[in-house]
Structure 1
Amino acid sequence: MLKRLVSTALAASLMLTAAVVTAPAAEVNMRVLGWYGNQKQSTDVERPFWKNLDATTKGQFSANFRTVDEIGLKGFESLRTLQSGAFDVVSFQISFVGGEAPVLMGVDIPGVAFDFDEQRKVVDAYRPVMEANLSEKFGGKLLAVWPFPFQILFCKNAMTSLDDLKGQKVRVAGNLSSELVKQLGGAAVTLAGPEVYQALMQGVVDCGVTGSQYGNSNGWYEVTKSLDTAPIGGAGVVLHVARKGFWEKLTPAQQATLTAQMKELETKLWAMAVDGHEDGIRCNTGEKPCDGKVGKMSLVKLTDADKTRIQTILKDNVIPIWLKDCEAASPTCKADWAKTVGAAVGIKF
């Protein structure tokens, strides 16, 4: 059913562009499914990248690019399309497919990385594990890995540390973030992003977890006072994965070209995450320069005590929850994570 749905939607969308394509055909025309199109990462970086691929590869590749929302699919369906054959390259945020691919979640456990340098160490260390899992379980070839800005705390009340979360109702978007909030003394509430502004305003929740830029562009700074940089929701890591059947038909030269292009895309998206995270913080707290909307929130920086507390909760509560699902999917999950991510960030268990 999914394969028929994707194929029908893709065929309809490609018909809209077929009539205007007059340039000579590239050696390889790729069908690419991107993540949600309402993100700056998609509009400012990814869409131009795929549009210009023919020129940047000098005719080796071209791409028909559609986002998951353009063809009417849900985020959790993205990974399944990799096996459907409807697309050659698919991108997805790992947290949306964690139920069917728990091994991949090992790269984005909330609180494991506190800054982008640490997140890069986590990605580099765990990349071979993800590559093997995608190849063996899903017939995929990993092409790129990048994060969104860290998912941090917007709170209505004045905060000085994570101790102030005790008794607070906190909007989260995943079960691992929910457990982290619970162990910090808060009550986790699951809400979709567009519902949070109203929920904060009406007191349904006291805090919300999201990226600094997302919160800024959606006005969360208007109904909250404190911005705490604790990465309660992780980094929203995204993968670009090629269908292995497609990848293996490419020549070595074509594989090298596409690998180099995807590396450039990955580098740009990492830079956007870092810049966007910092700009969002500046905007929400009224600092300049600011490319967004200017707020008046108070900035609460993560303390060493908060870091220690989060790491303890990770080892005792959060990671065991993830491992239960991960070890059911891969018997070597715990050992793989310990010798890669655990070693990179100093978490032993």
Structure 2
Amino acid sequence: MRMISTAGLMAALLATAIPASAAETLRVGDSFPVGHYIAENLAKVWMDRVTEKSGGEVKFEYFPAEQMGKAKDLLALTQSSALDVGYVGASYVSDKLPLSSVGELPEAFTTSCQGTKAFWKIAQPGGALDQVEFAPNGVRVLMVMVLPAYQIFTKDREITGADSFKGLKVRTTGGAKEIATKLLEAIPVQIPAPESREALSRGTLDALLFPNGSILPYEMQPFLKYATTGLNFGSFVVTYTISQQKWDSLSPEVQKVLAETGEETTFSACEVADKLDVSDREKIAAAGVQYVELPEADAKKIGDLMATVGDQWAGDLETRGRPAKAILQAFRDAIE
């Protein structure tokens, strides 16, 4: 076993020591229900690690489950300093962060960690996406997660082939997944995740574009009968941001701990997401949802359609004066 010398340990502790005068209590808010795997393995792990590494000098007040505001409002609450650190789902604020949906495209990544690491490269402070979108909005990214590939879950309609989704009202988060839904000749309905269960029960939705990992926390399984598997209809980008104004008010020591721990937790959380994607699928199937593997020809047809989403997404945003083609290429280059 490799041993760490007492002197080395003391040096490491002193390197991140935070003076009592720099003590902080930061307010963190998101929209995830209590127990959701993203909050449990990203936000809460990050807070615990920061408090530990700071020797207890940085503490947190945590507001889950939209206690501070709806998912779409959390960016504005962070910018206004009502929150110090806020969850931002890019699709919920596509008017302000349209380019951040690049991580939601059905691109050439198959795991959460592949997508997360690529998105982190362009969204971290100084990255291509940070320079054109996050920084101009007065926030900086502390940690991210790109979820495992989304599947389609239907309320009643049996899934038999590529044409099974025609006419269905499908929950999306807008942006890239709206394009994908239209390519399937379905009807996109933009509804935040916390409101989707009620929409299913009322018949406002016929189907969901959702990751396996979010079905159980939002208790969707009683309203679902069929689901795809092995396809990629896109993903969802989770970021936790801090306003630049708040960041600038922090001591260098606190900044260092927040930033280093954010990157560390980003990479550990995506590994958990990938493991849960498999185990959650098994639990959902046990609850009565039938996963369907489409015939090879139908799967290829859908794959070919999804392969066009990225360029269409970029073209649409370019007409609005956004450098989407450059950001899409930067994201593609970052995928390993």
SS at match of 2:239: strand
Matched with 1:129 is 128
SS at match of 2:82: coil
Whole-Å Cα distance in 1 between the matches of residues 161 and 110 of structure 2? 15
CA drift of 1:81 comes to 2.5
What aligned pairs does 1:261-340 form with structure 2 within 5 A after superposition?
261-286=261-286, 294-300=287-293, 303-315=299-311, 317-325=312-320, 327=321, 330=322, 332-338=323-329, 340=330
Whole-Å Cα distance in 2 between the matches of residues 55 and 244 of structure 1? 24
**Residue of 26, 32, 35 corresponding to 1:31:** 26
Report the residue type matching 2:325 in the other structure.
K
Matched with 2:12 is none
**Residue of 53, 58, 61 corresponding to 2:58:** 61
**Residue of 95, 102, 120 corresponding to 2:91:** 95
Matched with 1:138 is 137
Whole-Å Cα distance in 2 between the matches of residues 175 and 262 of structure 1? 26
CA deviation map 1:119-170 (0-9, x unaligned): 1354145331232135541222222111344432112333244332234332
What is the TM-score of this pair, normalised by structure 1?
A: 0.73
CA drift of 1:210 comes to 1.7
Whole-Å Cα distance in 2 between the matches of residues 218 and 68 of structure 1? 11
Matched with 2:331 is 341
Whole-Å Cα distance in 1 between the matches of residues 104 and 162 of structure 2? 20
CA drift of 1:284 comes to 2.1
Whole-Å Cα distance in 2 between the matches of residues 197 and 336 of structure 1? 34
Whole-Å Cα distance in 1 between the matches of residues 38 and 282 of structure 2? 19
Mark the CA change 1:199 to 1:98 in structure 2 (over 3 Å): closer, same or farther: closer
CA drift of 1:110 comes to 5.0
Whole-Å Cα distance in 1 between the matches of residues 220 and 190 of structure 2? 16
Query: Which has the bigger relative contact order, CA under 8 A and spacing at least 6?
Result: 2
What aligned pairs does 1:1-349 form with structure 2 within 5 A after superposition?
27-38=22-33, 39-43=36-40, 46-47=43-44, 49-50=46-47, 53-67=50-64, 69-71=66-68, 73-109=69-105, 113-120=109-116, 122-127=118-123, 128-134=127-133, 136-155=135-154, 156-191=156-191, 193=193, 196=196, 205-218=205-218, 220-229=220-229, 230-232=231-233, 234-286=234-286, 294-300=287-293, 303-315=299-311, 317-325=312-320, 327=321, 330=322, 332-338=323-329, 340-344=330-334
Mark the CA change 1:336 to 1:91 in structure 2 (over 3 Å): closer, same or farther: same
CA drift of 1:93 comes to 1.3
Whole-Å Cα distance in 2 between the matches of residues 94 and 25 of structure 1? 36
CA drift of 1:30 comes to 3.6
SS at match of 1:36: coil
CA drift of 1:300 comes to 2.3
8 Å Cα contact 2:139-2:244 kept in structure 1: yes
CA drift of 1:192 comes to 5.3
CA deviation map 1:10-62 (0-9, x unaligned): xxxxxxxxxxxxxx967331423321141332246523642563333214422
CA drift of 1:177 comes to 2.0
8 Å Cα contact 2:142-2:240 kept in structure 1: yes
8 Å Cα contact 1:180-1:318 kept in structure 2: no
CA drift of 1:196 comes to 4.9
Whole-Å Cα distance in 2 between the matches of residues 123 and 226 of structure 1? 31
Mark the CA change 1:148 to 1:337 in structure 2 (over 3 Å): closer, same or farther: closer
The percent of aligned pairs where both chains have the same amino acid is: 18
Structure 1 unaligned regions, length at least 5: 1-23, 287-293
CA deviation map 1:94-139 (0-9, x unaligned): 1111111222222323566443354135414533123213554122
Whole-Å Cα distance in 2 between the matches of residues 67 and 110 of structure 1? 29
Whole-Å Cα distance in 2 between the matches of residues 43 and 344 of structure 1? 27
Structure 2 unaligned regions, length at least 5: 1-18
Whole-Å Cα distance in 2 between the matches of residues 265 and 165 of structure 1? 37
Mark the CA change 1:142 to 1:170 in structure 2 (over 3 Å): closer, same or farther: closer
Mark the CA change 1:26 to 1:92 in structure 2 (over 3 Å): closer, same or farther: farther
Aligned residue-pair number: 308
Matched with 2:3 is none
Whole-Å Cα distance in 1 between the matches of residues 59 and 117 of structure 2? 32
